[in-house]
Chain A
Amino acid sequence: MQTPQVKCKTNWKAYIIISILVILLFIVSLAFGSTTISIQELWNHLILQSNQHDFTINVLRLPRALLALLVGAALGAAGLILQSVIKNPLASPDIIGITAGGSFGALCFIVFLLGVFSIKLLPIAAILGAAVVAALVYLLSWKNGVTPVRLVLIGIGIAAGMNAMVTFMVVFSETAVTTKAYLWLTGSLYGATINDVLQMSLWFSSFFLMALLLAKVMEVLELGDELAISLGVRVQLLRFALLFISVGLAGAAVAFAGGIGFIGLIAPHIAKKLVRYSLLHLLPITAMVGGLMLMSADLIGRTVFIPLDIPAGVFTASIGAPFFIYLLYKNRHT
């Protein structure tokens, strides 16, 4: 055990280090791609307003990097909240089917409602899908209360079922839509626009703010229902609100970048290594770690295999699955 004072110091260190990493990665993301832009040119562009690389930077790379940051942040925060609410370090929106629910909602919207409503409502469809699945998982796990193990098991079952439904929608969409839908399902930031970034930042900031406001009571909830009740917390309502926030974050992320897995699982664990356990600090750090992860995954996907653009979801899974296995191994005696 370290003393709180020492840890307080490391908190700030963590913020500084991660912010620097985010900025560095951001610059690298702007610089690399099928054409490399030198630091000098980047400087000219950003500071001296030269317009030599207007299209590449403003239209292609900037929105993509920003969206990756936001989506990764949303997924990380969603995972942290979920892990805290159901008290299981192995939970994450993708493993218990919330992401698949969001994908299904979004696909239904694309296939059935796109002519009727504007594409701007897509996030709502994704969030709705995610919410319905989350509610379903929660209700079905209820048997004199919800145990984390049952919730995760049932979540895995529902996820398998939802994935089949998603496949069904993809198979039945028109050929032109199929490839796009499939790319989107794998989780890709391909074709991000500045408009997407603005919308996503709106969704993210509103849900994230709610989460920050609830951070203190959330810690009380982690002490156990009984203690929380005796301290005057309305446990059921709070749990519902937190799940709602988590689902909202995950659903919005799915709407803009598809089924990116494992960030919600891993980012909270990394963040917990970096800062003292206080949710108020954990939330922003987790969000930044999540953003960092997705930015790197996307950067690798679009630069290492040029001219191919490999969906970021493939990389998050290939880092995420081994990490998940490590977590299982670490928790092997439980």
Chain B
Amino acid sequence: MMYISNNTKTKCIFVIVSSFLLVVSFILSLSTGQTAISFSDTLKALFQYNPADTEHVIVRTSRLTRAVIAMVIGASLAVSGALMQALTKNPLAAPDILGINAGAIFFIVFSITFFPLHSLVHFMWIAFLGASIAAISVYSLGAVGNNSLSSIKIVLAGAAISALFTSFTQGLLVIDEQRLQSVLFWLAGSVAGREMDMLLPVLPFLAVGWIIAVFLGGSVNILLLGEEMAKGLGQRVFMVKILIGLVVVFLAGSSVAIGGAIGFIGLIVPHIARGLTNSDYRWLIPLSAILGASLLLLSDVVARIVIMPQEVPIGVMTAIIGTPFFIYIARKGLK
């Protein structure tokens, strides 16, 4: 593998460039859609808001919420994927591949079928529970045996757990036709149709997750030297692993609670970030967050315009980008 950068300066430049990319994608996301709005109008809507102007209202209400959600989910999934790939030492690890998303989805569908829940915060905790159960099952399955955590084994375990939860979800939805109609678009992965008011209570929790992830960067670097070495350097390996696991599951679960099954972001972005940062997790994690947010924003823009006036669910969009990438990594070879 070629590493592009080795010193702090180039890494700084990458962070700045990708932040710039993020800003551009953000504005692009606010201005494109059924009514195209010029860049200058978009900026005006943000900074000199005029409630009488329809275009301003469009930007400030539906599109802003949507863009924020895309960024939040993109960043969370990418960070979750990056940590997961470090924890399992597997380049194919990602929340969707390892069945964590499917677990979260099943728990959410189950609880809305049987309990009257509406708050996104509740969904977030339920998703967290489901994601944890799936993650623990997959990880412990992957870890048994001599060749513990071998790539193929953990991916297969993920596929099985994923299939299990997916068919449970399908079973619940088939019984309840009305609910199927209302959750289907969410299930396919969508960043549209949520209110800002619902999102706001969740944001502080996610922010805590991101901050912990960023601070874990140094510990991840040490952990990747090998457990023996990490122990020798005085790291409490078990605690670090548990913490990484919690952050992974929390971020992935919350993303599902907000946007449903959006795949492949957690797989692709960490690989790009790894190439740019020479696998230094202190930089890799923030960079993954920024790039993940940009990638999901851009996917959302494309999803909105390819078959206007309808939209492609964003989960389908990311799968179209992600499947070739997955194949590329799988072909490149695994241990």
Which residues of A are interface residues toward B (Cβ below 8 A)? Answer: 90, 94-95, 140-141, 143, 149-150, 152-154, 156-161, 163-165, 167-168, 170-172, 175, 178-179, 182-183, 185-188, 261-262, 308, 310-311, 313-314, 316-318, 320-322, 324-325, 328-329, 332-334
Contact = CB atoms under 8 A, between A and B. Distances in A.
Contacts of A165: 316, 319
Contacts of A152: 152, 156
A321 B170 contact: no
B170 A153 contact: no
Contacts of B96: 160
Contacts of B175: 308, 310
B188 interface: yes
Interface of B: 92, 96-97, 137, 141, 144-147, 151-153, 155-157, 159-161, 163-164, 166-168, 170-171, 173-175, 177, 180-181, 184-185, 187-188, 261, 263-264, 310, 312-313, 315-316, 319-320, 322-323, 326-327, 330-331, 334
Contacts of A157: 323, 326-327, 330
Given A153-B155, A161-B319, A161-B323, A321 B161 contact: yes
Nearest to A171: B188
Given A165-B319, A172-B310, A179 B180 contact: yes
B167 A156 contact: no
Contacts of B170: 182, 185-186, 311, 313-314
A83 to B, nearest CB: 14
Contacts of A141: 331
B176 to A, nearest CB: 10
Given A149-B152, A318-B168, A324 B312 contact: no
Interface centre among A90, A158, A168 (most CB of B within 10 A): A168
A99 B122 CA distance: 35
8 contacts: A161-B319, A161-B323, A161-B326, A167-B313, A179-B180, A310-B175, A321-B164, A325-B157
A328 B144 CA distance: 9
Contacts of A316: 167
A183 B175 CA distance: 9
A318 B106 CA distance: 13
Given A179-B180, A186-B174, A333-B146, A156 B313 contact: no
Contacts of B174: 182-183, 186, 188, 310-311
Contact of B147 (A95, A153, A317, A333): A333
A150 B180 CA distance: 36
Contacts of A188: 174
Given A310-B174, A317-B168, A178 B184 contact: yes
A90 B155 CA distance: 12
A73 to B, nearest CB: 21
B163 A95 contact: yes
B327 A156 contact: no
B315 A143 contact: no
B164 A178 contact: no
A265 B310 CA distance: 39
A136 to B, nearest CB: 9
B188 A262 contact: no
B321 to A, nearest CB: 10
Closest 8 CB pairs of A and B: A332-B145, A161-B323, A164-B319, A321-B164, A314-B171, A317-B167, A157-B326, A186-B170
A143 B331 contact: yes
A262 B163 contact: yes
Contacts of B316: 164-165, 167-168
